[in-house]
Amino acid sequence: MSFLCGTLHRDRGRSKRICNEGADLDDLRQRLSRILDAPRNLNGREGVEQGTSRGAALGSGASGPWVEQDAGGVKGVLPSEVAALLGAEEAQTPFGPCLEVRASYRVEYRHGLHRLCDFLSLDLRKLDRLCGGVGQVHVSPEEILFLDLETTGLSLGVGTWVFLVGLGFFEKGKYHTRQLFLRNFEEERALLYRASRMMERFRIVVTFNGKRFDLPLLEARLALHGQDDCISSLTHWDLLHPAKRLWKGRLEDCRLDTVEGARLGVCREERDIRGERIPEGYLRFIHSGDASFLRRIVHHNAADLLTLLVLAVHVHKCCEDLDPRETNLVSLGQYLERTGSHEEGVKCYRIASQRGLGQHERERALFLLAQRRKREGRAEEALAAWEMLAKEGVAWGVAACEELAKHHEHRSKDLAKAVYYVEKALGGDIFLEGPMRLKLEKRLSRLRKKVGKIPCK
């Protein structure tokens, strides 16, 4: 505790914390009390803004709280006044109340390029494969939950609180969002209980980077409060991974805001708030009652729940269209191969080898196509691709020559051709790194010895 009441002295390059000898223990207790009780010291604050109405949550086609950009006059808000500010209702649980913001959208509502109802006609087994599954799921859209969390930080430690749980789902012909908001830290147990009970009826949960963050954090907070694990039984579709496979090398990064702007046609409005400012905005409310950002945070989370849905639609569409200008078909083809969809992967390679962006991508696609045919025992197709690369290839010409040398040494037994292709690889214009050059030189030496042992006819 000495660091709370001491001063920092530096002596010969070393730091020492020295406690003031006359420090008053009662004063220390008071200081600690003020720090720990900061979230509760909001009594007597006035000036809550009551400007909420049941208009369109994010535009026509939705019903819910009006969440336009906050102006001034929302500072000094009591936790008890937040419900009116957000247009929320109190949901009762065995552990007390928590706030719930509700909105509903007609399925014809358009978010960017896609309508919400487009999700209802997707091949969900294909979407499951794209998200790492085996494509054997048999679910209806009503059994799929879209999940997005807002938190006080980005670590998975116990000091990171979940203060907004956003849930989206289809029910009775509409798309509904439920956002559970934490007015103060004492309500976290109630909020988590409410969230877990709502998640129980679903079979699949859809997130963006949820594998590394949202779900582990939610599981940790539930365990901290001794509540049942409602997550491990759910199939998880993390859309970050198919997004990376589809747009690697096409976008500067695969952050959700980058993807939605570049691929989904979603333009965030001025009333939104950048994701990195959300923890700061919430903590300002907790510590001082400054609610200036709360409605914008709720708006941001609601928009994320819509973006998750149309992102799933667009991922599926890209895998149907196979447009090499928009999609990295080489990366997609490799993933489809790994998941057992070999012919779908080959289709991606064929298109990319003909219309891929840049020579390197086209050559790589052709080489991967040849490797797939080699594994299938379809040597003639593999040979045709390798020979084309050996003749015209730049980046992948050496690799193709090596494969041709292997084929003629071990399968066709034409050692002269094997020597020819190794010499071609070594004598080309491509710079060969040490290990590759050494490997080819060893192969050439071995081949020459074999050729020397063959008796003349």
pLDDT band at 77 (very low <50, low <70, confident <90, very high): confident
CA atoms within 13 A on the CB side of 440: 25
* Per-domain residue ranges of the chain: 2-36, 47-321, 354-453
Is residue 257 classed exposed, middle or buried when 0-12, 13-18 and 19+ CB atoms within 10 A define those classes? Answer: middle
Nearest CA to 369 out of 386, 387, 346, 391 is that of 346
Strands 89-93 and 62-63: unpaired
Token pair of 413 as six digits? 């037994």
**Please, what is the Cα angle at 333 between 329 and 336, to 5 degrees?**
140
* Residue 114: how many other CB atoms lie within 10 Å: 20
Give the pLDDT of residue 164. 97
| C-alpha neighbours within 13 Å on the C-beta side of residue 394 | 5
Work out the burial of residue 136: count CB atoms within 10 Å of its CB; fewer than 13 is exposed, 13-18 middle, 19 or more buried: exposed
Please compute the mean of the pLDDT values over residues 179-204 and round it to a whole number: 95
Between 103 and 292, where is the model more confident?
A: 103
Assigned token pair, 441: 């030189």
Least confident of 44-58, 159-173, 226-240: 44-58
Q: Please list the residues that pair with 103 across neighbouring strands.
A: 177
- State which of 65-69, 133-137, 384-388 shows the largest mean pLDDT: 384-388
- Which residues, 6+ apart, have CB-to-CB distance to 437 below 8 Å? 426
Give the SS3 label for residue 99.
strand
Q: Report the pLDDT averaged over residues 317-341.
A: 93
CB 139 within 8 A of CB 327: no
CATH class of 47-321: alpha beta
Contact 296, 70 (CB under 8 A): yes
Pick the range with the lowest mean pLDDT from 65-79, 232-246, 327-341.
65-79
Does the pLDDT at position 238 exceed 90? yes
Entry pTM: 0.79
Local confidence band at 30 (pLDDT 50, 70, 90 cut-offs): low
Contact 316, 239 (CB under 8 A): no
178, 101 contact by CB (below 8 A): yes
Q: Give the CA diameter of the chain.
A: 107
Which tokens hold the place of 30?
Answer: 């008071």
Q: Do 408 and 417 form a contact (C-beta atoms < 8 A)?
A: yes
Query: What was the pLDDT predicted at 39?
Result: 39
| Domain 354-453 CATH (choose: 1.25.40.10, 1.10.287.610, 3.40.50.300, 3.40.640.10) | 1.25.40.10
User: How far apart are alpha carbons 340 and 372 in whole angstroms?
Assistant: 12
Tokens of 323: 């447009």
| pLDDT > 50? residue 184 | yes
Alpha helix stretches (DSSP H) within 69-187: 82-86, 124-130
Which region among 51-60, 81-90, 131-140, 169-178 has the lowest average model confidence (pLDDT)? 51-60
β 235-238/89-93 pair status: unpaired
Give me the mean pLDDT over the 291-317 stretch.
96
Q: What is the 3-state secondary structure (H, E, C) of 288-353?
A: HCCCCCHHHHHHHHHHHHHHHHHHHHHHHHHHHHCCCCCCCHHHHHHHHHHCCCHHHHHHHHHHHH
